[in-house]
Amino acid sequence: MCWTISVEDKFGSYGLVGVVITSVVDEVMIIDTFLMSCRVLGRGVEKSILAGLKRYAQENSIARVEMPFVPTAKNRPALDFIENSSFNLKSECLYQMSVDDLPIVDSFVDFYFDKGITTLKNETTQEDKIIVIESVEEEQKTFNDFQFNLLETLPKEDIDSIVHKKFYEPLLHHKGSDRVELMASDTDISQEYIAPKNENQKKLASIYQELLNIKSIGINDNFFNLGGHSLLATRVLSRVYQTFKISLTLKDIFDNPTIASLEKLLDVEKRSDKEIKKAPNMRHYPLSVMQKRVWLIDQMGGGVAYSMPVAIEVLGRLDVKKLSSVFDMITQRHEILRTKIVTIDNKPVQEIQSRLDIEISVQKVNKEEIVADIERDSNIVFNLSELPLFRVKIYKLKKDKFVIYFNMNHIISDGWSMGVITKEITALYNNQDLEDLSLQYKDFSFWQETQYTQESEDREYWYDRLSPKIEPLAFPTDYPRFKEQSFNGNTITLDLTSEVENIEKFSREYSVTLFMFLVSSIKAILARYTMQSDIVLGYPVSGRESIELENQIGFYANTLILRNSVDFESDFVMLINQVKESLLEANTHQNYPFEKLLEALNIERDLSRSPLFDYTISLNGDDGQALKLGKSEIRPFEFDFNMSQFDMSFNFVSSNEGLYLNLNYNTDLFAKESMQGFLENIDRLMTTLLKNPSQKIKELEYLNPKKTQKSFRSKTLKEHSIMSLFDRQVDKRAKNIALTYDKNQNSYKELDKKSNALSHYLEDNFDIQKGDRVALLLDRESSVIAILAILKLGACFVPINLSMPQDKIEYILQDANIKVLLKSDDIDKSGKYSKKSISKKSDINATAYIIYTSGTTGNPKGVEVSQRSLLNLLHWYIDDFDIDKKTKALLMIPTSFDASIKNILAPLITGGELIISKEQFDPFYLLNVIEKNKITLINCVPSAFSALLDVSDREYKRLKSLKYLALGGEALDLSLLQDYYLHSNIKIFNIYGPTEATDITTIYEVKKDDFDKSSVSIGRPITNSKVYILDKFDNILPKGAVGEIAIAGEGVAKGYINNLSLTSQSFIDIPNLGRVYKTGDLAKELSNGELEFL
């Protein structure tokens, strides 16, 4: 018995989705064949089928069901089904279960005997063998034919609604069959098949039937529900024009998908004449506008990017002589294959040779040699002025194993042409005739010259559509863009087959095509990666609107431009509707050549990229043009053709085998690792939007949470006070030099006494307590003493630049609620006070200091930093720069800058020596200080150290004591440091961090190979700091994408004092990230996890 399975749900009919073949032996039903489409897997259909079999078994006294099964790697899904259906394993290859154990499914399942009992008759056509089923008398029965119709399990109220609204149509069956009633109900939910009535309907039905390969189509059957798509709809248009001489648009098909509705558009007033007529006989013919562009790129050296190599493997007998003859016949049949491009009066034209003999020799080589030869040949640029502009090679591996390699230049071909060639090789090799060609490519190119005027409607559409000027898409690259466009590329593949069912369901619900969904998905992720809303994609169309061109070889394809503004606040449904409208409009105006459009727009040429767009998208389907060479098996032969015409091309392939994305990318811009991550993100985005298409674009999840969870350097922060660490060094190294300024030196004991005296002075005269704020308007040496004294009291110090204008000083004193402003005379007065230790137990979360920004625009902002944040900074600085008792650190930075604080305190809490330079910057003086004091550590801006190198000797002898150099605050130009780096043992670090994150956030150690790079990394976060690159909606961006630096962790400041509004804008809480400071600085995360500041 043969059972055919069809499925209907609220979205409509899925058509035939499965076949079950059974036999009954001794009250046992044996399932010989169980085939089911992946379109309905996972939706409970399997259990419904088993429930139907159960009903039949019970009605026919069948006790048991068995399913023979031989496990293999390819039929793993069948094994999963068997195991999930509760079958019991009886032996290694036999599963069985009692009929009573078969599932009971509360869905509407029915089956029936076909009343037209059948015999089989074979009828051969030119394409395939088909089976014609005829009605015969019942006694002539050869097998029983049953059919299920399954309606997915739904709540009863939903089912009633479906029945009432007639959301679905029943499936039509072959001759002699009755329609199926899905429910035992008086309600008629079926829609009668209505055959074409008048001549126009019959002609339209004939067009639908030919393209959809369906025998009978009613006037109310939906073109897209029957398997139609945009490409087939375009072919409908050409046939409508051929039949009725009426020009319709793709939008007309979408708006009128049935024969009944489309017929109403066949108005005689819409008749037009766009017939391509034969060109006159000429010695030379003009190039089409598409050919002109290829010729121009070839003249500029980019010709190899327009080669079209392909290779196949033939398993079985191959008649090489016959195949050679076939190529010869095709070459004679299509003049374009006998065409070369010559220059006459400095103008390229087509010259057609009357005869071109094709002889193909066979090379006997091994597989490795074949791959090497194909890859070599595919990179050989065609000489457009020499014939032929295609190459054919046959390689013989063994007696019945061959490889056929075919390569042709794009100037005589396109993607559609490859299908034509495949079809004609198949026909001629298998002794089938071909219809004569009514046109040649020269006719098209000659006709095309007369078609485009400055006032054309198509031109005006594109001119308006592409205004204002398109800005290039700022997709993150791994390598800098060359000054001139390169075409080196690679292709990697993403398998999207698992999403096909959900995409089909989505497409039916929102009345869109697969291509519309794919375009919208790619636009969404490009928008999220770049944070740009104006997303432009190029996409190819066949350019064969006339049916006479469908069997033509040649470069007819045109490139259309799809420009949409992605609204991040809207959802995916709105985006796809916008894309749908744009696609239909673009296809309506597809006749205007892309090359003409470039001329009309008069675009300023950027040699580093393609004009108008750098990203393209395409969808290719299974057109049924599989190559057939007798009974031999044909399969692809893999080789690398490392070319890319654009930055990226999203080439989707949809076939019976599934849905795939072949991402072709420029390897001079992108690393393979980045592109593989990009594919993963595309996959995740599609999954996300299919689950919730009403989610805002800005909220769509496309990053794997596991990959956004970064590991940062962490270390337990011991909660001791900073001054307790200083006191420890005073006890251990009382006589060691702690502070040197010019000729003045202070031991740890002396420095401790001076700071104690100032502490007593502040406490006795100004009642300074914990948390009070003390401003410093002091020189560098005095500032060091004051900082220690204030920290001993548990108070907060506020450094002020000596050169700051008085009005700014007064603002700070008032804004920070300063209790006392320390000046130099206060330091002098404090000398008379007690030198006894006054260190008080401090709160690690209390404010350590407040640093005011420069305030070049408006009033300065006061950044409040806790002792905890400062202590974390000091521990990191000590660990990464090996600061200890041997360290001699030079303080070149003004003490009003936060960068000075770590340089003051780090050596003093580790037993090292702090050397202070004069306030005025003097490179000659500084060299003397470095040499005299044997400085080991310097932290300054790059320009300051570069000035030292400018006045240093070539051997840098006066800098030989230096071990560590920390440069920050400016962009680091390594070229200024290269010679010094190569002639010393110095370790150079590039550091980055804002005041709001306690001075330093990231660090990078410069390496030798960095000197060959255009920029230097700012590295990774320091200990207990975290850095994220965020988009403008505070989402984490993928590696490589440019976004805002956001800092979290111990270093984040408390905020801006007396400025809640600004604090709430810059210091925010982000789910899963915690409290962060948004810097406003731009950067990107490199593939290795380091950061590049932009």
Q: Check: CB of residue 850 under 8 Å from CB of residue 773.
A: yes
Fold of 2-165: Aminopeptidase (3.40.630)
The three-class DSSP label of residue 255 is: helix
Closest C-alpha to 883, from 945, 939, 943 = 939
Q: For residue 131, what are the β-bridge partners?
A: 122
**pLDDT of 157 over the 60 cut:** no
Greater confidence, 1063 or 119?
A: 1063
Q: What angle do CA 227, 228, 230 make, to 5 degrees?
A: 140
Average pLDDT rounded to a whole number, residues 516-526: 94
**pLDDT of 171 over the 60 cut:** no
Q: Check: CB of residue 820 under 8 Å from CB of residue 762.
A: yes
Summarize pLDDT for 1080-1094 with one digit per residue, the tens.
899 988 888 889 888
Instruction: CATH 1.10.1200.10 in the chain: give the residue spans.
Output: 199-270
Q: Return the pLDDT at 1063.
A: 92
Residue showing tokens 């001139």? 484
Q: Check: CB of residue 232 under 8 Å from CB of residue 211.
A: yes
Instruction: CATH 3.30.559.30 in the chain: give the residue spans.
Output: 446-625+644-702
Q: Return the pLDDT at 75.
A: 57
Interatomic CA distance for residues 520 and 327, integer angstroms: 41
Interatomic CA distance for residues 373 and 103, integer angstroms: 59
Interatomic CA distance for residues 992 and 942, integer angstroms: 12
Average pLDDT rounded to a whole number, residues 143-153: 36
Beta strands in 657-770 (DSSP E): 658-666, 737-741, 744-747
**pLDDT of 406 over the 90 cut:** yes
Phi, psi torsion values for 353, nearest 5 degrees? -90, 135
Contacts with 1038 (C-beta within 8 Å, 6 or more apart), sequence order: 529, 677, 678, 681, 702, 703
Q: Is the peptide bond before 468 cis (omega within 30 degrees of 0)?
A: yes
Average pLDDT rounded to a whole number, residues 876-896: 92
Interatomic CA distance for residues 495 and 314, integer angstroms: 26
Closest C-alpha to 361, from 404, 301, 300 = 404
Q: Return the pLDDT at 884.
A: 92
Q: Return the pLDDT at 837.
A: 87
Least confident range from 528-537, 572-581, 848-857, 971-980: namely: 848-857
- The domain over range 199-270 is classified in CATH as 1.10.1200.10: yes
Average pLDDT rounded to a whole number, residues 971-975: 87
Judging by DSSP bridges, how do beta strands 1020-1021 and 1025-1030 pair with one another? unpaired
Q: What percent of the chain is predicted at pLDDT more than 70?
A: 85
**pLDDT of 658 over the 70 cut:** yes
Average pLDDT rounded to a whole number, residues 127-133: 29
Interatomic CA distance for residues 478 and 669, integer angstroms: 6
Closest C-alpha to 998, from 873, 858, 876 = 873
Greater confidence, 1032 or 858?
A: 1032
Average pLDDT rounded to a whole number, residues 193-207: 82
Average pLDDT rounded to a whole number, residues 42-53: 68
Q: What percent of the chain is predicted at pLDDT more than 90?
A: 37
What strands, in cross-sheet order, belong to the sheet with 615-621? 489-495, 658-666, 648-655, 615-621, 534-541, 558-565
State which amino acid sits at residue 277: K
Q: Check: CB of residue 653 under 8 Å from CB of residue 662.
A: yes
The three-class DSSP label of residue 13 is: strand
Q: Return the pLDDT at 47.
A: 67
Instruction: CATH 3.40.50.980 in the chain: give the residue spans.
Output: 720-843
**Rg, the chain, Cα only:** 39
Pinpoint the alpha helices (H) of 701-747: 705-708, 722-732
Confidence tier at 592 by pLDDT (50, 70, 90): confident
Selected from 3.20.20.70, 3.40.50.2300, 3.40.50.720, 3.30.559.30, the CATH number assigned to the domain covering 446-625+644-702 reads 3.30.559.30
Residue showing tokens 């034969």? 278
Greater confidence, 115 or 530?
A: 530
**pLDDT of 228 over the 70 cut:** yes
Token output for 814: 């008032």
Closest C-alpha to 935, from 892, 983, 889 = 889
Q: Return the pLDDT at 79.
A: 60
**pLDDT of 352 over the 90 cut:** yes
**Helix count (H) and strand count (E) of the chain?**
30, 44
Greater confidence, 104 or 216?
A: 216
Q: Which CATH architecture has domain 720-843?
A: 3-Layer(aba) Sandwich (3.40)
Confidence tier at 933 by pLDDT (50, 70, 90): very high
Average pLDDT rounded to a whole number, residues 705-719: 76
Instruction: CATH 3.40.630.30 in the chain: give the residue spans.
Output: 2-165
Greater confidence, 255 or 783?
A: 783
- In CATH terms, the superfamily for domain 868-1094 is ANL, N-terminal domain (3.40.50.12780)
Confidence tier at 131 by pLDDT (50, 70, 90): very low
Q: Return the pLDDT at 648.
A: 94
Interatomic CA distance for residues 258 and 237, integer angstroms: 14
CA distances from 493 to 435, 497, 617 (A): 38, 12, 14
Q: Check: CB of residue 797 under 8 Å from CB of residue 791.
A: yes
- Cβ count within 10 A of residue 112: 16
Summarize pLDDT for 469-499 with one digit per residue, the tens.
888 998 988 888 888 888 888 999 999 999 9
Summarize pLDDT for 989-1039 with one digit per residue, the tens.
999 999 999 989 999 999 988 888 878 889 999 999 999 999 999 998 888
Confidence tier at 113 by pLDDT (50, 70, 90): very low
Q: Return the pLDDT at 183.
A: 24
Q: Check: CB of residue 983 under 8 Å from CB of residue 999.
A: no
Least confident range from 35-39, 282-286, 806-810, 1079-1083: namely: 35-39
Contacts with 767 (C-beta within 8 Å, 6 or more apart), sequence order: none
Average pLDDT rounded to a whole number, residues 701-727: 81
Confidence tier at 84 by pLDDT (50, 70, 90): low
Confidence tier at 96 by pLDDT (50, 70, 90): low
Greater confidence, 665 or 276?
A: 665
The overall average pLDDT reported for the chain is 81
**pLDDT of 23 over the 60 cut:** yes
Average pLDDT rounded to a whole number, residues 133-161: 35
Q: Check: CB of residue 808 under 8 Å from CB of residue 771.
A: no
State which amino acid sits at residue 822: L
Q: 572-588 vs 500-510: helix axis angle to the nearest 10?
A: 80
The three-class DSSP label of residue 110 is: strand
Q: For residue 35, what are the β-bridge partners?
A: 19
Q: Check: CB of residue 683 under 8 Å from CB of residue 521.
A: no
Average pLDDT rounded to a whole number, residues 590-618: 82
- Alpha carbons within 13 angstroms on the beta-carbon side of residue 389 total 30
Token output for 57: 């078994």
Least confident range from 28-37, 504-513, 844-853, 1018-1027: namely: 28-37
Instruction: CATH 3.40.50.12780 in the chain: give the residue spans.
Output: 868-1094
Long-range pairs for 140-144: beta carbons < 8 A, 24 or more residues apart: 141/117, 142/117, 142/118, 143/1, 143/2, 143/118, 144/1, 144/2, 144/113, 144/114
**pLDDT of 51 over the 90 cut:** no
Q: Return the pLDDT at 553.
A: 93
